Amino acid sequence: MSKGHRTKIKQERNEENRDRRPQAHHMYARVSDTKARIVLDEIKGKSVGAALGILEYSPRYASYLIKKVLNSAIANAENNLGLDVSELFVEDVFANQGPTLKRIQPRAQGRAYAIHKKTSHISIYLNRREAKKSLAKRIETKVKQEVKAIKEDK
């Protein structure tokens, strides 16, 4: 076997196991992961429209960054996967800690005060939620079941 053969097998295996949900990431976001998680917990499990509404009126700076990531995930779902936006909901959200920027602030008597500027990696995964049956369709199926039961009794 040649070297290219093994690589090709690994590529095919990785492609089969790849996550195919619509997703978007913001790496090295200049907000701490704990502050981002507060906003992300509010939108987890919500429909895309409700999540955008929550982010629009949230006073936190992290909501501005997360809204951009969510809009990117929605665009990825539409353009790359051809999904309908009305069926999408926020399935998974992550805010992992990124590298910390270390800065020095001069203080009195020649001392130095450390300032840690935290960053985070924000990830949003969407998924499709099956649309609920309309009331008319539910009534129709119920009537059909009752008619079928009556016919079987006769």
Domain borders along the chain are 19-153
pLDDT at position 30 is 97
Q: How far is CA 12 from CA 6, 21, 40, 80, 127, in A?
A: 10, 18, 34, 20, 24
The CATH code of the domain at 19-153 is 3.90.470.10
How far apart, in whole angstroms, are the C-alpha atoms of residue 77 and residue 128?
Answer: 10
pLDDT at position 133 is 56
pLDDT at position 154 is 66
Q: How far is CA 35 from CA 20, 111, 122, 148, in A?
A: 28, 30, 11, 57
pLDDT at position 140 is 80
What average pLDDT does this structure show over 99-127?
A: 96
How far apart, in whole angstroms, are the C-alpha atoms of residue 141 and residue 149?
Answer: 12
pLDDT at position 122 is 97
Q: Picking from 24-28, 47-51, 69-73, 143-147, which range would have the lowest pLDDT averaged per residue?
A: 143-147
pLDDT at position 115 is 97
pLDDT at position 17 is 82
Name every residue whose Cβ is closer than 8 Å to that of residue 46 and which is 6 or more positions away in sequence.
54, 89, 90
CA 125 remoteness from chain centre:
3
Token digits of residue 115: 């300032």
pTM beyond 0.85, yes or no: no
pLDDT at position 5 is 77
What average pLDDT does this structure show over 118-146?
A: 82
* C-beta atoms surrounding 127 within 10 Å: 15
How far apart, in whole angstroms, are the C-alpha atoms of residue 27 and residue 128?
Answer: 25
3-state helix, strand, coil in the chain (%, to 5): 50, 25, 25
pLDDT at position 132 is 59
Q: Picking from 16-20, 40-44, 131-135, which range would have the lowest pLDDT averaged per residue?
A: 131-135
Mean pLDDT of the chain: 89
Band (pLDDT 50/70/90 cuts) for residue 96 is very high
pLDDT at position 53 is 95
